[in-house]
Amino acid sequence: MKEFELIKEFFSFSQSKSGAVIEGVGDDCAVLSIPDKRQLVTSVDTLVEGVHFFSDINPADIAYKSLAVNVSDLAAMGAKPLGFTLAIALPKVEEDWLKAFSDGLQQASTAFDIPLIGGDTTKGPLTITINVLGTVKTDRALLRKSAQLDDDIWVTGYLGDAAAALGLHGKAQSRQLNNAEHYLWQQLLRPKPPIVFAKKLAKLAHAAIDVSDGLLVDLGHILEQSHCSAKIKVSSLPLSEQLTEFAGLEGAREFALNGGDDYELCFTAKPSMRNKILNLAEDLNINVHRIGSITAGEEAEIQLMLDGKPYKPKRQGWQHFSE
């Protein structure tokens, strides 16, 4: 009974506004209605203490990020959030910890408009697995394999902030971050996948992926699956002022190309869609930047250009690709 009581107490906050949740937590399964002419999309991600997050991070931030990184996968499909399940293994039941975790989860659930529909609480090393569900109009999902020759390549938000923040853990815990560092740290803790923008983008774009392993790696997945290559203008990479202040321009570009944990969107679309994409982004107060274009060549090569010359990043975490 304990498991059930736990779930009930801390994880019963979530109610769908959409009415899609017919039965939520409390039966063997949740029951959801799916609108006509929609396909279901689903993804799962696990976060393990000490592997994916530091042990001393606020449980509210752990919860927020756990949901955000999964919502990011929905955004990468152009999907509308439907609901999520939470499976959590906990070494012990600490009410304070659970309260904070539940608060952070609720904040993310509200921010991304995705209700909690079911879960499982067990004893074990701290491990958080979230499975998200969403819907897309039939055959309108933004797939990695759908990029087309001469498509523009776009990204939302700024890149590299979270990767730069990874080294700030000690300073953050001893409250010694300056303003720029504080901003970077927050980007690592609380990614904000552009889920509303992504849903509306589904009818404007061809392919999309979320930037979780670094732009070069993730764009590489699109290129591999679409059997094409890409040219990127390094001067067009979207860099936050804070990142440039923290790492210098060249350092910032390195973080933007090879860093991970951004949870922004990288997508491709026909050049004729530029105005529509810019208008949509402006309406929703989302930053978008056009950083390059899809080129011919099945080798999934990424050609980086700066001032008309090939650009060679220092770190080569992306050996799969040539510069």
Interface contacts to a copy of itself, rule CB under 8 A: 1, 22-23, 26-34, 36, 38-52, 73-74, 76-77, 79, 83, 85-89, 117-120, 122-125, 127, 129, 131-134, 136, 138, 141, 143-145, 208-210, 217, 225, 320
Minimum CB distance to a copy of itself, residue 256 (Å): 20
* Identity of the residue numbered 1: M
Minimum CB distance to a copy of itself, residue 205 (Å): 13
Q: Which helix (H) or strand (E) holds 266?
A: strand 264-269
Strands 302-306 and 229-233: parallel
Could you tell me if 184 and 241 are in contact, meaning their C-beta atoms sit under 8 angstroms apart? no
Cβ proximity to a copy of itself: between 27 and 307 the closer is 27
- Rounded CA separation 309/323 (Å): 11
- Rounded CA separation 278/146 (Å): 21
Token representation of residue 121? 């609480």
Minimum CB distance to a copy of itself, residue 285 (Å): 24
Cβ proximity to a copy of itself: between 144 and 233 the closer is 144
Cβ proximity to a copy of itself: between 33 and 322 the closer is 33
For residue 109, give every residue at least 6 positions away whose Cβ sits within 8 Å of its Cβ, in sequence order, or none.
13, 14, 67, 84, 115, 116
Minimum CB distance to a copy of itself, residue 79 (Å): 7
Token representation of residue 317? 């975490």
Could you tell me if 154 and 288 are in contact, meaning their C-beta atoms sit under 8 angstroms apart? yes
Cβ proximity to a copy of itself: between 180 and 195 the closer is 195
Minimum CB distance to a copy of itself, residue 144 (Å): 5
Cβ proximity to a copy of itself: between 123 and 178 the closer is 123
